[in-house]
Chain A
Amino acid sequence: MMNTRCIHPAPVASFLFLLAWLVLFTTGCAKQDQDVVFSSKENVLHLFNWNNYIAPETIGRFEKSCNCKLSQDYYSDNEEMLAKLSAGATGYDLIIPTGNAMDTLIRQGALKPLDKSLLPNLGNINPAYLDTPFDPGNKYSVPYAYTLTLLGFNQEKIKSLGLPTDTWAVIFEPKYLEKIKGRVTVLDSQRELMAAALKYLGYSVNDTDEKHWKEAANLIVRAKPYWAAFSNTSYIKELAVGNLWVAQGYSNDMFQAALDARNTGRKFTIGYSTPKEGAVLALDSMVLHRSGSRPDLAHQFINFMLEGKNSAELTNLIGSGNPNMDAIQYIQAEIANNGAIFPAPEMLNHLEMLRDLDRKQRRVLSRLWTEIKLR
């Protein structure tokens, strides 16, 4: 009968172990809850942002200036952010969406209009980036930073092969592609790749004429055998290491690749330039979400970011484009003089923002894309 009372050490030990955790967790939770209750009374600004899209020193200075705390949540994709907000997530004062996502937010009535009397620094923004088709008159949005879709390349290699670097022809024309076969990648994105092809053919990136799309698709199919891959992220590393010679990609990424190639003492340099035919410009803007409880702090933040010194820090950190005219003086000379990050005024007319397609157009494009991928 002894053994009916004998206690098994294993289950008991594990139960105790888990119980200890439960206690720890509930105390943790209680503390957490207190924090939450407490924070609504406290000065906290909730920002829903891309990761690494504001310099740490900027955050520190803003927190000092407003005597509040900046708390960030991140998304990695506009669609992700839209999905979460559409499902009813609340508590975000500020969001930094890209043009077409902002369009959606405005149409859903998810944003609060700006009070421009609280934004005296608004005049610092270059008028070229104001009054976009997404938000006429900037009722809701203030430009934050932008990215261009352009060409990055291994400068020495391209020079030795005698290829041009200022035209989309490098990724579409077989006469150039022959020399760099298997050393080129393009973006794995229907819209971005089609936009480059449409631009090269002399059309708008938002052209929806099916005949023109067909032409663009044929151009892509003809060039495809020469490309190494469709790549959205890996091209950064491959360029920096020297495996790739030409890539279609985003200006921020090219900046990172160039920086890394330089810091690790490579024997080549990574250059990047905006093709003369024109390119896609993606503008991220600051907007106020309807559910935010601190519009006062949100306006304070926007006005703070409109000071040149503050917005320059992000450009110096990740090489993003800066729509702020006052910021130029604080930006490192080599970035400020880089035509691929700060396009010349005549180039600005060739840059376009992608608009959303309607359902029927999306279907047509998806079908074309499938054909392209299968060929």
Chain B
Amino acid sequence: MSRTNIWLWSAAGVIYAFLYVPLVIVVLYSFNDSKLNAEWVGFTLSWYKTLFQNTEMLTAARNSLIIALSASFSATLLGTMAGLAIHRYKLKVLPILVFTPVAMPEILLGVSLLLFFLQVLNLTLGMVSIIIAHTTFCIGFVAIIVRARLQGMDESIFEAARDLGASPWQTFRLVTLPLIMPAVVAGALMSFTLSIDDFVITFFTKGVGEPILPIHIYTMIKVAVTPEVNAISTLLMLLTLVMIIIAARLESHASSSANATSRETG
């Protein structure tokens, strides 16, 4: 270990600690035997029991998951298409349309979507309106990531595929998609995260009588955030972790099979 190395490692350690210690504390305090949760009192599992009896909180979590999965799915699909199109054709308007929601303040997006749903579409607010809203602001993120991946690629690969007689669809399926897969997965995960913890836009576009998790938690702050919130956060963290592991698996799979393809065709 050289001197620079020690410095680098300790810097990395400090940064990772800064990122992960709060999460560890959230998890620890979900086992804390105190309602106010101000400091450590004693170990208990009762908050998990309370959580599983709290139908409203569980419904809110379920709704949030359905919204996040649907929104990230449609945003990934549309965002990937947009990213490809923006990269391939020199378009003027599309990039502006796609990237604007990324840069726009959330409160503006929330209120304008609400007005649009009510006044223009005459839509009853509900799960569908939230999913449309979330898809809207996630598309931009996916498109940016996919385009960035494409920009670093050698165009001749795609030309070679076409020279060898692949139809456009085959080129996409066998060459382009496997190559941009890591970006697509990253975009999907990012959309999922953005959607599941979005408060402002969700608050405006939700209808009556459906609890949504971030709103449920945020409004609890006014009175008291019980360790129940820590408990549900812990469970969601676990779920996210599983998803990231699956995504990493898929990615390594994709890259290895893509390598295999390029070796075979090469």
Contact = CB atoms under 8 A, between A and B. Distances in A.
Interface of A: 3-4, 6, 8-11, 13-14, 18, 21-22, 24-25, 28-29, 32-33, 36, 39, 44, 46, 48, 50-53, 71, 73-77, 80, 83-84, 87-92, 233, 236-238, 240-241, 252, 256-257, 259-260, 263-264, 318
A87 B115 contact: yes
Contact of B114 (A71, A87, A241, A259): A87
Contacts of A18: 73, 76, 188
Contacts of A14: 181, 185, 250
A39 B210 CA distance: 12
Given A8-B178, A9-B257, A29 B185 contact: no
B185 A51 contact: no
A14 B45 CA distance: 36
Given A21-B69, A73-B208, A91-B207, A33 B126 contact: yes
A36 B173 CA distance: 41
Which 8 A-B residue pairings sit nearest by Cβ, starting from the closest? A237-B38, A51-B219, A74-B219, A10-B254, A260-B36, A71-B209, A91-B208, A76-B219
B221 interface: yes
Interface in B196-231: 203-204, 206-211, 215-216, 218-224
A277 to B, nearest CB: 27
Interface in B235-258: 250-251, 253-254, 257-258
A264 B223 contact: no
Contact of B66 (A28, A44, A71, A264): A28
B21 to A, nearest CB: 18
Interface string B71-111: 00100100000000000000000000000000000000001
Given A10-B250, A21-B70, A3 B170 contact: no
Given A32-B126, A44-B209, A11 B66 contact: no
10 contacts: A9-B257, A28-B127, A32-B126, A77-B222, A87-B114, A88-B115, A89-B118, A89-B204, A260-B36, A318-B223
Nearest to A236: B36
A52 B224 contact: yes
The interface residues of chain A, by DSSP majority, are classed as helix
A240 B36 contact: yes
A24 B41 CA distance: 42
B253 A10 contact: yes
B27 interface: no
Contacts of A318: 223
The interface residues of chain B, by DSSP majority, are classed as helix
A14 to B, nearest CB: 6
Contacts of B127: 28-29, 32
A108 to B, nearest CB: 16
Given A18-B76, A260-B35, A39 B209 contact: yes
B257 A76 contact: no
A144 to B, nearest CB: 15
Given A3-B264, A236-B36, A318-B223, A10 B257 contact: yes
B163 interface: no
Contacts of A28: 66, 127
Interface in B162-213: 166, 170, 173-174, 177-178, 181, 185, 188, 203-204, 206-211
Given A4-B170, A21-B70, A237-B36, A264 B41 contact: yes
Nearest to B124: A36
B126 A36 contact: yes
Given A8-B257, A74-B216, A241 B223 contact: no
B222 A8 contact: no
Nearest to B224: A256
Contacts of A264: 34, 41
Nearest to B220: A51
Contacts of A46: 208-209
A198 B16 CA distance: 48
A110 B220 CA distance: 26
A84 B257 contact: no
B178 A10 contact: yes
B203 A22 contact: no
Nearest to B69: A21
B119 interface: yes
A87 B166 CA distance: 52
A88 B114 contact: yes
Nearest to B41: A264
Contacts of A84: 114, 203-204
B125 A89 contact: yes
Given A4-B166, A264-B34, 10 more contacts: A4-B170, A4-B174, A8-B254, A10-B251, A21-B73, A24-B66, A51-B216, A75-B219, A237-B38, A263-B35
Contact of A260 (B34, B188, B223, B254): B34
B128 interface: yes
B44 interface: no
B19 to A, nearest CB: 22
Nearest to A237: B38
A260 B114 contact: no
Interface string B113-136: 011001100001111100000000
A36 B125 CA distance: 10
B166 to A, nearest CB: 7
B39 interface: yes
Contacts of B224: 52, 236, 256
Nearest to A317: B223
Nearest to B263: A3
A33 B124 CA distance: 10
A3 B265 contact: yes
B209 A233 contact: no
